[in-house]
């Protein structure tokens, strides 16, 4: 026999899965901006600083589920370009990397790209 709370939890999970896709970063950000305005007004208008702080903390705590949704949405948005970059890496890029010339000795003053030394670039003088 299934407990009544178990079935409620299942319904809540299904509802959460359906509605979490309706939340966008823009919608959540808009809500958080409005909440910040509300909390600022409470602190400003309430003569009891202690009560104002308690109320604003309660508001912050009650919005924790939406804050979690916001954090997840931000992570998904950041990961999308990384995933796209990793999926479309061409296989032809590897030979280009392998063809780089690194055989120039470290003590050489020659430019590894052109093969010229600084002396080759100086103008020739007519001395002797």
pLDDT tens-digit series, residues 49-99: 999 999 999 999 999 999 999 998 888 777 656 666 665 555 555 555 555
Query: Residue 23 and residue 74: Cα distance in Å, rounded?
Result: 12
The predicted pLDDT at position 1 comes to 47
Measured CA to CA in angstroms, residue 19 lies from 15, 28, 69, 94, 122 at distances of: 6, 13, 11, 44, 71
Locate 65 and state its tokens: 């589920």
Buried b (16+ CB within 10 A) or exposed e, 83-107: eeeeeeeeeeeeeeeeeeeeeeeee
The reported pLDDT for the residue numbered 54 is 96
Angle between helices 25-45 and 49-62 (to 10 degrees): 170
More confident site: 79 or 23: 23
**Residue 21: pLDDT above 90?**
no
Taking the complete model, does pTM exceed 0.75, yes or no?
A: no
């Amino acid at each position: 026999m299934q407990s009544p709370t178990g079935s409620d939890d299942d319904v809540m999970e299904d509802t959460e899965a359906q509605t979490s896709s309706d939340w966008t970063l823009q919608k959540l950000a808009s809500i958080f901006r409005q909440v910040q305005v509300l909390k600022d007004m409470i602190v400003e208008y309430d003569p009891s600083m202690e009560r104002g702080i308690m109320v604003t903390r309660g508001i912050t705590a009650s919005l924790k589920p939406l804050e979690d949704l916001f954090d997840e949405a931000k992570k998904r948005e950041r990961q999308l370009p990384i995933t796209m970059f990793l999926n479309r890496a061409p296989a032809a890029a590897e030979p280009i990397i392998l063809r780089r010339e690194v055989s120039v000795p470290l003590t050489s003053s020659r430019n590894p790209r052109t093969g010229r030394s600084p002396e080759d670039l100086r103008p020739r003088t007519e001395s002797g």
